[in-house]
Amino acid sequence: MKNTIASLIGEEHFDLTIRGGRIVTDGRVIEGDLGVRDGRIAAIGGSLPPALRDVDATGRWVLPGGIDSHCHVEQRSGMGMMCADDFYSATVSAAFGGTTTILPFAAQHRAMSVPVVLADYSQRAAEKAVIDYGFHLILANPDAITLAQDLPAAIRGGITSLKVYMTYDRMKLEDYELLDVLALARAEGALVMVHAENNDMIRWIAQRLIDRGHKAPKFHGVAHDPLAETEAAYRAIALARLVDVPLLLVHVAGGDTVNVIRQAQALGANVLAESCPQYLFLTADDMDRPGLEGAMFCCSPPARDANAQEAIWRGLIDGTLATYSSDHAPYRFDETGKLPKGDATTFKEMANGVPGIELRMPLLFSEGFLKGRIDIHQFVALTATNHAKLYGLAPRKGAIALGADADIAVWNEERETTISAAMLHDNAGYTPYEGRTIRGWPEVVVSRGRLVIADGMLHAERGSGAYLRRGVPDLPRRSPVTGAERPHGRVLKALIGLGEDKE
């Protein structure tokens, strides 16, 4: 019988074939072989001839390599604490978890210039990364030079997403400044990511807790009341609507915030959002542990309760939340990270964040796909395809398609794993998911046709990852809630001097 092979090449030669798997591509599942040549996908389906290297994927899922579009790597926090992971350990850990592309942050602090920040992060990543990477730019100082020169140059150079904070005294922007950034993003075709929490709400509650002697980790969750996230999300959406620009709210934690986003989308607002494993699998109770142990579970916004978890699941399932990222923020449980003042550290002084870059995809595969909450196509969209579209990486990344980079993970759905810090490859030294048993794991990982992970071992060299210059984000034109086309190019054009609207 004639093979049904879709191929870009006329000759039967491949550098790598992945044989006999269930290949997930373009909304379909194809059983057969996948061929790779010169780092790209060259054939999908049928029975291919032997390659220079063959991988047996019989009974396995063959999925696009994951894209983690929210992770902190070799980054100093606003409080001055350095992440535990550099670009080597973070990308190795990501690869073992099925991720083949990361988009971490190049973080500008108040006194830093954007070109210096980008040069510094670029050098460190180029020397160490084992998988492909790009950058978002964290913006803490939108002064005249930054807005007029440095940001436009960075965006035109392929860093087409910016992150801003509405909280943290050393990082936050005022609404007036945020409007300036949103207007520039509209003019340049960039996507603005927002950490939405009301700083004054948090500061007001925290001070009263500290004054009353309430300093334990569990009070981090009390200070970061869910209303702080919901109010800031609503305000950020209103600011973006005023300037008529897309907006992406990061690490959404609370059920009321999901509802605000869903309602805004139903009204036609061009607002997108992501969530993370900690909001599906942790709760505020995890911060209420003996001594300072609860600090290992503190992130911002904090995890909430079972009702909030269900709201996040619903948001991922119905499309209100478009992407699922790790927000990997690894700090060691010692004076270099979580506990800068040792046993005297209060909840206000702990480094905020949890590790999760390696477990992001396995947790969702096990608890989302294998337990029937989402199907395999939703899993692929939430972990890879939607990231590629929103951040200007499609069609090169995020899907198994002819001509795309051969970024592939072969998943064994029968493999059972009990999570422990000892089995992971990051430098945090602990995992908030210790002792949890999950099913399914990516046993073979390929990046641009290179075998990166196989037989439980790393096969990629330090510095072999490639920098990704990204294009204009491919943002959805229709509301995921109503299906209606979003309004486009309508307000403040004359006032803010943006000229003709861009398609």
Q: Which two tokens stand for residue 94?
A: 């990501």
Is residue 386 packed enough to be buried (19+ CB in 10 Å), middle (13-18) or exposed (0-12)? buried
Nearby residues of 396 by Cβ (< 8 Å), 6 or more positions away: 388, 404, 405
Confidence at residue 425, expressed as pLDDT on a 0 to 100 scale: 98
- All residue ranges of the chain with pLDDT < 50 are 1-10, 488-494, 496-503
Is residue 242 packed enough to be buried (19+ CB in 10 Å), middle (13-18) or exposed (0-12)? middle
Confidence at residue 12, expressed as pLDDT on a 0 to 100 scale: 62
Residue 18 DSSP label: E
Confidence at residue 502, expressed as pLDDT on a 0 to 100 scale: 41
Give φ, ψ of 240 to 5 degrees: -65, -35
What angle do the packed helices 114-128 and 87-96 form, to 10 degrees?
60
Q: Are 413 and 443 in contact (CB under 8 A)?
A: no
Count other C-beta atoms under 10 Å from residue 289's C-beta: 15
What angle do the packed helices 306-318 and 255-266 form, to 10 degrees?
30
| Structural domain spans, the chain | 64-387
Q: Are 133 and 391 in contact (CB under 8 A)?
A: no
Map tokens 């943290």 to a residue: 168
pTM: 0.93
Using CA atoms, how far apart are residues 434 and 436, in angstroms rounded to an integer? 6
User: 64-387: what CATH class?
Assistant: alpha beta
Using CA atoms, how far apart are residues 346 and 340, in angstroms rounded to an integer? 9
Confidence at residue 486, expressed as pLDDT on a 0 to 100 scale: 53
Q: Are 68 and 101 in contact (CB under 8 A)?
A: yes
Q: Which two tokens stand for residue 15?
A: 């550098």
Q: Cα torsion at 73, 76, 77, 80 (round to 10°)?
A: 160
